[in-house]
Amino acid sequence: MKVVVDTNIVACFWLPGAHTESAVALRLNTDELFVSTLWRSGIRNILARYLRAGTVGPRRPTH
């Protein structure tokens, strides 16, 4: 099966959250996934939103 996904599905695959399991299952059960050529811009926007909300941030070294 071939599936076209938007950036939100890509984000769910890479960023842990409520829909990560579904995104992983989609990837495992699909022969080919296709994304827009603008997916990187979409991921940057999602990451910027997460940074502003404090959901993600830089890793701090532990000693």
pLDDT tens digits, residue range 3-18?
999 999 999 999 888 9
Count of domains observed in the chain: 1
Distance of CA 50 to the CA centre of its chain: 12
Domain that holds residue 33: 2-53
Angle at 5 between CA 2 and CA 7, to 5 degrees: 155
Query: The pTM is what?
Result: 0.76
Q: Is 14 contained in some domain?
A: yes
- What pLDDT does residue 57 have? 77
Q: Is 62 contained in some domain?
A: no
Q: Is 59 contained in some domain?
A: no
- What pLDDT does residue 58 have? 74
Distance of CA 40 to the CA centre of its chain: 10
In this predicted structure, the answer to whether residue 54 has a pLDDT above a threshold of 80 is: yes
Q: Is 32 contained in some domain?
A: yes
Q: What residues have CB less than 8 Å from 29, skipping those under 6 apart?
A: 1
How far, in Å, CA of 37 to CA of 4, rounded?
A: 12
